[in-house]
Amino acid sequence: MPKVKRVSRNRFSTIILAAGKGKRMYSKTPKVLFNILGKSMLSFVIDNARAIESGEVILVVGKNFQQIKKIFKKSVRYAFQPVPLGSGDAALKGLEQARLSNVLILSGDVPLLRASTLQQMIEFHHKKGANLTILTCRLENPFGYGRIIRDRRGRVRAIIEQTDATKREQKIKEVNAGVYYANANILKTALQRVIPKNMQGEYYLTDAVKELIDKKKKVQAYTADDPDEILGINTKFDLARARDIVKAHFFEELMRRGVYIEDPETTNIDLTVEIGNFVHIRPYTILEGNTRIKDGTTVGPFAWIKDGKHKKFLRNVR
């Protein structure tokens, strides 16, 4: 992933919340390790943090710690959340490890965010002199998302969850994307002041937003243009939808540089595959892993190649 130009004076830590169990995925595999075209969701998020030159990356993990650490051994640090007490507690665990003055908080199960969107959000935050900036998006169907409440001057006044929203508030299309950029000390103090309101002792980042607004801190919202970017993966249906989105963008990129994918619907190519120039990929072809397809190759139909290196005409390979 190419680096995105950023303002070097604004050094920041990135905290990635990756402790969720993902019960609705019905799998022993941690949700953030599910793959999209051969690349884990968590890899997408970490790559974004690196693309915008985050000063450090901190993964907040739970009981899935060992499975994640086997894959991500270098260039990240870990914070442990032994008991799942909500996003507020997870963020606080990460903030206790953070060493830089600003912090970007991302979710490990929101893999489609673009690095450019995050960079624009950070620049917006500093331009506005904000204490905390929320990433928002406008959705035609905002059901299930927290709504952004603004006053007549356009200032953020609250985030109201779906279950707490009035009928009027439910009609609001601007929603919370669950991505935050903040002054680390101010956010940490706000989280420490939050009093859990349920029997489980859980509290959330949105509680800290309310705390900051009540304390007259400057809270801003930056709006992403593309609703696909904020898609959270909670079920395998969501995973399939994300895969289709990534595949469409990836195949368009390949074909714009001259690769001919004869039938995109029946073709699957991992993001890790290297494909040369003037390549023709015929229907019902699957390319996986560290496969390399050299210039001028025709692959398929009905080819299945994993971790292979090929330069001539290939047919019916498995």
Parse the chain into domains and list their residue ranges: 12-230, 257-310
What is the structure's pLDDT at 277?
92
> What pTM was computed for the model?
0.91
Q: What is the mean pLDDT for each group of 10 consecutive residues in the chain (318 residues)?
A: 48 94 88 96 97 96 89 91 93 96 97 97 97 97 94 92 91 97 97 88 92 96 96 96 98 97 98 95 96 93 85 46
Can the peptide bond before residue 2 be classed as cis, meaning omega within 30 degrees of 0? no
> What's the fold here for domain 12-230?
Spore Coat Polysaccharide Biosynthesis Protein SpsA; Chain A (3.90.550)
What is the structure's pLDDT at 23?
87
What is the structure's pLDDT at 8?
44
What is the structure's pLDDT at 183?
97
